Every structure is written in structure tokens, then in C-alpha cells.
A and B are shown apart, each in its own frame.
Chain A
Amino acid sequence: MPAQQIVEEVSVQWIKEQLDHFADLEERMLTAPSGKAGLLYIKSITDPQIINRSIIAPFYEIDNTQVYSDYLSSYPGSEEGKTGQHALELMLGGYACVHIEGKLCFFDALKAETRSVSENMTESVTQGPSDALTENLAVNLNLIRRRYQSTELKMESMLIGNISRTKVAILYDDSRVNHQVLDELRERLGTLRIDILQASGELEKYIRSDKLRIFPKTIVTERPDRVVFNLAEGKIAVMLDTTGYAILLPVIFNDFFVAMDDKIQLPFVGRFLKLLRITGVAMTLWLPALYVAFTSYNPEIVRVQIALLIAGSRATVPYPSFVEVLIMLVMMEFLTEASLRLPRAIGPTATTVGGLILGQAATAAGLVGNIMIILVSVVAISNFMIPLNMMSFSIRVLKYLFIIAAAALGLVGVVVCLVGFTMYLCSQRSFGQPYFKMFFLDSLGNSGKQKGGGR
């Protein structure tokens, strides 16, 4: 890249004026027999080693300033600041400004303080890779490119955020991606006007099409193998610098119930696990509502022994069943929420006090029935069987809707709510693609054409 021509409007003096009151601004004059060079950089975001080795040392080793200038401008990553604005952006982005004989050259010396690749925290699997995406985009790309060695894996990058200048990378497999979705994503990202962008979830919030919704329309994941798996299925991955999560889109409802070790397990075991998860979701959604319906409205539906059992356990309970359910569920939510925020050392205490003692005491005092305690634990446990957190939270909220419906109309309410829920799911679109339908029927007729996805 030629840095020969003198940039008129950008001078060292001007940059220094702009960066007034920067205590960490460093200016040095390098003087050697062959000539002089000025060096200007922001100390806190530049790497002293790079400055030393690649800028200062060669200056004294190369006798000719002209050769030195060529060396700088041909070094990978160095740029010339075309306009004042661009020069400032480069300076703030960790570039060092070297000026020799009136020429300005910006040299990439960014020091990115990140942690190394570590084990994933939110989506753990029993077997299989356990490295997680990091806060450094370059490292993340390395993790993915290494797993997806194809010329079809394309990457586009852009900057989002007026202040944060966050690097955003869009990855997709060109031969498998739905180009309609890709264009829509590009358009939405292109029209985005915000100041600060720090997390993937935030970006997800900005690129959604509908304001009011309950289900996540994109997967936010920290597993590189999930990203690769979904890329191969024709999805698009959006990755941000400074955040350890990638966004995958478009998604369908079923994607949220796929754990990455399903592929590792034997086919039947994998199917069984998936069935287990779906049963879990069904239970956490409907058990409390059905309890309300069966105790308060339609005890005749279940076997008479069960009805008597429930009635017996509720004999001392002084309020209607939906109050009982709500009290216990809210209590459980408190516990879950609290144990999430508690320091590690106090965590077990909270669980013991909350779960064991409270449950025991509540039944002994006759405030809730024994069966209710069992039910609440089932609901709590099965809620966390969903591999992806976003969906698990949605389901957690949705079950209250069913409880309200059950409290109002009994079994009829639950079924009406189920119909509405299914229809709502079917009406959802993720980036213009259907979100929920009988997808397996689509592939029934043309089973010869197998989609990618490492099956």
C-alpha cells in the first residue's frame, strides 16, 4: 500500500489536538544518522513488544529512511490514514502513527487482552469438544475455519456501533445458504444505527423483525461445533468481536432441542434423548396447568384413586389449587434465580434451605400438598432439560399462561391455550422462514436428497 503521497489535511499536530487530554498518548522522536522519524500511539491499547520489535528496532537497523518507509507501508496490517476521521479511528483502534519526512503511516499494533480458549459453561455435553468461543473474533474464526475447511465458507465483515466500533463477521456456506435470508440480514445490519454494541444478545434484539414475541428467533451459542453444524445446514452465523457468543439464524423451533451430543450418541439413544427433552418441555408446560384443572375443575378425568390421592394430600390446604400452584412455582423461581446470582460458596446452603427445608415445612404446615412438591420439582428439573438457555427461559414464562387458562376454564382452558399456542408458533417466521411446522413431512417424499449437517 503506497503511503508516499503527503496527506494534506492529516498532520501529527492535528491528531494530537484531537487526542487532547489523553494521558496515555505517547509521542517519541526517533533519531538516527540516516534521518528522523516521529512515533505517536496510545499506550494502553498498543502492544509495546510490537512497537519495539517492528517499529523502533528496524528504524535503527535500516539506514535509509526511504527503505524504512517502504518497509512500514508494506507490512501486513499497516494503513494510511486517508482522512482525518479515518486516522483517528485507526489511532483509537490500536494503530501506531509513524511519520517520516511528512508521510504518515499507521501501523497495526493492537494489544487485545482476551482470555484463552476455555471450556464452555452454558452448554456442556458429556462427550465431544468442549472448547468455547472467546471474546476475540480472530480466535473464534480460527476455531471455526479449522473445523470447516471448505472454500464455500464465506465471511463478510462490517463495523457496527458509532462508539464501540464493534467488528461483526457474517459467516455462511455459499452453496447451502438461503440467499434471501442473507440479503435480509445484510439489509437489517446495514441500516442499524446504534452507539454501543457489546453482546450478541443485544444484536439479536436489534435485528429482530417483530417487537413483541416470546420465542427466540435466533440461537445464541458459545459452542464452535454448534456453529459449524448449523453452517453446514445452510444457516448463517453472526459473530461479534468482544463477545464469546455467536448468533445463528434462521432457526426453527426444533433446533432449540438439539444438544450437540445427540450426534455422538448411538442413533436410538440420540432419538430417545430428544424424545426425553420434548417430554420434559411438555411436562413443564402442562403439568401445573393440568394439576389445577384436575383438582379444581375436572377431578373425574383421572382415575378415582388418583383423584382421591390428590384430594387427600390437599385436605389441609386452605386455598384453591391455582393459588397453591402459583405460590410454589414462584417460590421455585425465586430459588432458581437466587442460586444463579449467589456466590459459589453459599449456593448449596440456599438449595438446602430452600428446597429441602422449605418444601418439608410447607407440607408439614399444610400450606401445600405433598403432590404439589413433587410436581414443582418435576417442573423445575424438566425445565432445564432444554439445551439452549433462551428457549428454556421462554418455556419458563409460558407455563404461567397455561396455569391462568386452567384457572379460568379448567381442562377446556388448557386445550384452548394449546390450540392458540400451536397456531401462534406456526404463524411465527424467523427471517421469513417458517418457524414451526411438521418439517419431517417435507423431507418424506424426497428422502434421497439429504441435507448437510454431518449425518
Chain B
Amino acid sequence: MTQNRYFYWLFIMNSLINIINFVPRELMDTRFKGAQTSILAAVVLGTAFVYLFTALMAKFPGKGIQEILDTAFSRVFIIPLMVIFAALWCAAGLITILSFIDITLRFISPDTGPYLVVLGFLVVVFFCARMDSLSLLYGLEVMLGISVPLILYTLFKAVTNPDFSWDAVLQIITYFPHAPDVKSMAAATFSFSGYINMAVFNRVLPKLRLKHRWILGVQGLAVLLLTFYVPIGYFGTVAVERHVYTWFSTADSIGINTFIIERMLFIFYFAYLNLSLTSVIIHWHVGKELLTGLFPSPKNPKSKAKVWRELAILGLFSAVTLILMRLDQYQLNALGIWFLLARWLGELLLIMLLFYCYTVLRRRNP
């Protein structure tokens, strides 16, 4: 397998991380009012986005989003755009890290001070996000290699549990025929938005030739359906709304009888901590790359200016995290849902911009 696989890893990372970014929460809110049709619509839309975006990026091999936009727009227009996109990527990492801190404090170490935990997370993210893009892709691959088997094991145990209520799942399926809800749909497309990281990683993966992109659609559908149905099978159609971190509560309901570790929660937590830290690292790396691209590259290759810029940008991200630590669960939830919607619009905007750049390119050299 060649470089292509890294694209799929980025996709899988995002689709697995959705359960931390309040996607199940949003789906559960509308479970009687069209969540399932929203999922279907999200699958169709998400796959279409993936196809469009990768097809457009393939026209600009080895270029990041910055270089592509430079071909068609003036700098005055690009700078605010880049700041907006960087803010979106920063927010993606931010929400993952904030909700994961909340999860950690609630499920794993209630005694540890929240600021100690956030510092621990920020230190590792801070240093890793500065690494070069290719190293991060290697790291992502290793992390998926560790986490995905554990997640699959959790899923297997979850579905084969005799106490899993298939009746509840069947009952919720009867609420299928409803018009899709826009917010739920936007939230569900988060599972598909891993491709958007290619905006920066395209630089290091110049020879991308994607085959079988439909697999992404199938995988996204499977992840979304599991995300939606499994908690309902555990908590019932109504009680499921009482849980903020639906999936962690679900994992906490599963026991392992024949192992040193008794509760599935810890295995699941371990897998997801790995994965979400990696995803924060990657999202902030993209955000950092977008912002550093705005500065002119220093003439002197040994100059420390680049390092200071990176540190300043990541420091800014970290500072925002520390400030937003004060949010309570309601506010965090609201922020998460706001982000899911904003991100979807951002993706739409990015694809339209890319399409415009492509038409400009075509007009220039037909």
C-alpha cells in the first residue's frame, strides 16, 4: 500500500472521534424526529463532499489550500479566510480536548485537579503539533493500529451482550419516516469531514490516487448507525437522553468477565484517549500550518522566527483552551453543536472556493 492509505486514516480518525464531539448527543436529541433520515442524508452528502473535495484536490497535486487559493484570489481576501478556517480547525481540536477533559474528570480521575489534566494534555499536544506533517501521519497510523482493535473489541462486546435490548433498537427504527433535521444532519456529517485535513496534508502526499472511495461512505454509515443504535440498545429509547457522553456511559455498562480489567470503560477510554489526543494534534497542526502560511517565509533558514510563530500560534490555541475550561457542560454542549454546524458550512465554503480556483486554472491553461 502506498501513500493513499494515509488519506483513509485521516478519514477514519474523524469518523471514530465523532462520539466525543457531541455527534451522538445531537442525534439523540432528534431521535424521534428524523435522526435516522438525517444520518442517511449525511451519508449521501458527506460522501458527495468527499468525492468533490478529493477530485478538486487531485487537480492541484502537492499543494496546500493556501497555495491553491493564491492562484485565484488576492492576499486581502485570503487572510481573513485563512483565519476563519484556522479558527475552525482550532475549534475542532478545542472541543475534542475540552470534552475529553470533562470525560476524564467524570469517569477516570475525579480526584485529579482539572488544570493538571488539561496541562498534561496541552503539553503533549503542544509539542507534537509542531512536528512535520509526514511524521504526524506516521504517528496517526500507529495510534489507529493501537486504538481501532480495542474499539472493535468494545463494539463486539457491546453488540453481543445478552442484555442489549434489540427491542429498543427495533422500536426506534419505527421512528424512521420523518423529514431530516438540518442540525442533526450537519452534526452527522462530522463523521465524514476527515478528508478536509487534506487541505494541508496534500502537501506531503503528492501522488494521491484514491480508489474505492465508496468504502468511505459505507464506513461512515456503519459508524453513524452504530453510534446511534448501540446506546439506545443499552439505555432504552427514552433514558438515553440523560447521558451527556452517551458512548462512555455505554462502555461503562459493559463488563469483561475473564480479564484483569473488569470494566470495558477503561479499555474504551484508553483507546479514545489515544485517538482523541492524536486528532487534537492533527487538527491543531492543520490550524497552525494555515496560520504560519500567512507569514512570509524567513529568508534566513536558521532564523528562529518560524519557531516563535509556531509557538505563539499553539500558545494562543492553548490559552483559548484554558480560558474555555470555565464552561460548564451546557455551554460546552452548545459550543460543540454550534461548531458542528459552523464546520459544515466551512466545508461547503472551502469546496466552493476550490471549485472556483479550479475554473480559474482551467481558464488560464485550457
Instruction: List the interface of chain A (C-beta within 8 A of B).
Output: 297-298, 300-304, 306, 405, 408-413, 415-420, 422-427, 434, 436-438, 441-442, 444-445
Q: How far is the CA of A413 from the CA of B2 in the complex (A)?
A: 34
Tell me which residues across on chain B come within 8 A of A297, comparing CB atoms.
Answer: 109, 111-112
Asked if residues A412 and B143 are in contact (CB atoms below 8 Å), the reply is: no
Tell me the residues in window 226-281 of chain B with beta carbons closer than 8 Å to chain A beta carbons: 260-263, 266, 270, 273-274, 277-278, 281
Asked if residues B261 and A423 are in contact (CB atoms below 8 Å), the reply is: no
Given contacts A412-B273, A416-B277, contact A426 B135 (CB under 8 A): yes
Asked if residues B274 and A418 are in contact (CB atoms below 8 Å), the reply is: yes
Tell me the residues in window 93-135 of chain B with beta carbons closer than 8 Å to chain A beta carbons: 104, 108-109, 111-112, 116-117, 120-121, 123-124, 127-128, 131-132, 134-135
**Cβ-closest chain A residue relative to B122:** A416
Asked if residues A419 and B274 are in contact (CB atoms below 8 Å), the reply is: yes
Tell me which residues across on chain B come within 8 A of A410, comparing CB atoms.
Answer: 108-109, 112
**Cβ-closest chain A residue relative to B145:** A438
Tell me which residues across on chain A come within 8 A of B139, comparing CB atoms.
Answer: 422-423, 425-427
Q: How far is the CA of A412 from the CA of B108 in the complex (A)?
A: 8
The interface bits of chain B over 126-152 (1 if a CB of A lies within 8 angstroms of the residue's CB, else 0) are: 011001101110110111010000000
Tally the A-B contacts, defined by beta carbons under 8 Å.
107
Can you spell out 15 A-B residue pairs with CB atoms less than 8 angstroms apart? A297-B111, A302-B261, A303-B260, A408-B116, A411-B270, A412-B112, A412-B273, A413-B120, A415-B277, A419-B143, A420-B128, A436-B138, A437-B138, A438-B145, A441-B1
- B309 is an interface residue with CB less than 8 A from chain A: no
Asked if residues B141 and A441 are in contact (CB atoms below 8 Å), the reply is: yes
Q: How far is the CA of A295 from the CA of B286 in the complex (A)?
A: 39
- B75 is an interface residue with CB less than 8 A from chain A: no
Out of A302, A409, A417, name the residue touching B112 (CB < 8 Å).
A409
Given contacts A297-B109, A423-B128, A423-B131, contact A416 B121 (CB under 8 A): yes
- B207 is an interface residue with CB less than 8 A from chain A: no
Out of A302, A306, A408, A437, name the residue touching B142 (CB < 8 Å).
A437
Out of A413, A425, A444, name the residue touching B1 (CB < 8 Å).
A444
CB distance from A417 to the nearest CB of B (A): 8
Tell me which residues across on chain B come within 8 A of A422, comparing CB atoms.
Answer: 139, 142-143
B109, B124, B128: which has the most chain A beta carbons within 10 Å? B124
Tell me which residues across on chain B come within 8 A of A302, comparing CB atoms.
Answer: 260-262
- B209 is an interface residue with CB less than 8 A from chain A: no
Asked if residues A409 and B132 are in contact (CB atoms below 8 Å), the reply is: no
Q: How far is the CA of A423 from the CA of B141 in the complex (A)?
A: 10
Asked if residues A426 and B108 are in contact (CB atoms below 8 Å), the reply is: no
Given contacts A419-B124, A423-B281, A437-B138, contact A412 B260 (CB under 8 A): no
Tell me which residues across on chain B come within 8 A of A413, comparing CB atoms.
Answer: 120
Asked if residues B1 and A442 are in contact (CB atoms below 8 Å), the reply is: yes
Q: How far is the CA of A437 from the CA of B111 in the complex (A)?
A: 36
Tell me which residues across on chain B come within 8 A of A424, comparing CB atoms.
Answer: 128
Tell me which residues across on chain B come within 8 A of A436, comparing CB atoms.
Answer: 138, 142
- B59 is an interface residue with CB less than 8 A from chain A: no
- B178 is an interface residue with CB less than 8 A from chain A: no
CB distance from B232 to the nearest CB of A (A): 27
- B5 is an interface residue with CB less than 8 A from chain A: yes
Q: How far is the CA of A417 from the CA of B277 in the complex (A)?
A: 11
Q: How far is the CA of A417 from the CA of B273 in the complex (A)?
A: 11
Asked if residues B109 and A412 are in contact (CB atoms below 8 Å), the reply is: yes
Q: How far is the CA of A423 from the CA of B131 in the complex (A)?
A: 9
Out of B112, B261, B270, B273, name the residue touching A303 (CB < 8 Å).
B261
Tell me which residues across on chain A come within 8 A of B143, comparing CB atoms.
Answer: 419, 422
Asked if residues B135 and A423 are in contact (CB atoms below 8 Å), the reply is: yes
Q: How far is the CA of A436 from the CA of B142 in the complex (A)?
A: 9
Tell me which residues across on chain B come within 8 A of A301, comparing CB atoms.
Answer: 261, 263, 266
Tell me which residues across on chain B come within 8 A of A408, comparing CB atoms.
Answer: 116, 120
Tell me which residues across on chain B come within 8 A of A304, comparing CB atoms.
Answer: 262
**Cβ-closest chain A residue relative to B141:** A438
**Which 3 residue pairs spanning A and B have beta carbons closest together?**
A437-B138, A427-B135, A426-B139
Tell me which residues across on chain A come within 8 A of B131, comparing CB atoms.
Answer: 423, 426-427
Tell me which residues across on chain A come within 8 A of B274, comparing CB atoms.
Answer: 415, 418-419
Given contacts A303-B261, A438-B141, contact A419 B277 (CB under 8 A): yes
Asked if residues B262 and A416 are in contact (CB atoms below 8 Å), the reply is: no
Asked if residues A426 and B138 are in contact (CB atoms below 8 Å), the reply is: yes
Tell me which residues across on chain A come within 8 A of B273, comparing CB atoms.
Answer: 412, 415-416, 419
Out of B136, B260, B262, name the residue touching A423 (CB < 8 Å).
B136
CB distance from A144 to the nearest CB of B (A): 33
Q: How far is the CA of A423 from the CA of B111 in the complex (A)?
A: 28
Q: How far is the CA of A438 from the CA of B143 in the complex (A)?
A: 10
Tell me which residues across on chain B come within 8 A of A411, comparing CB atoms.
Answer: 108-109, 266, 270
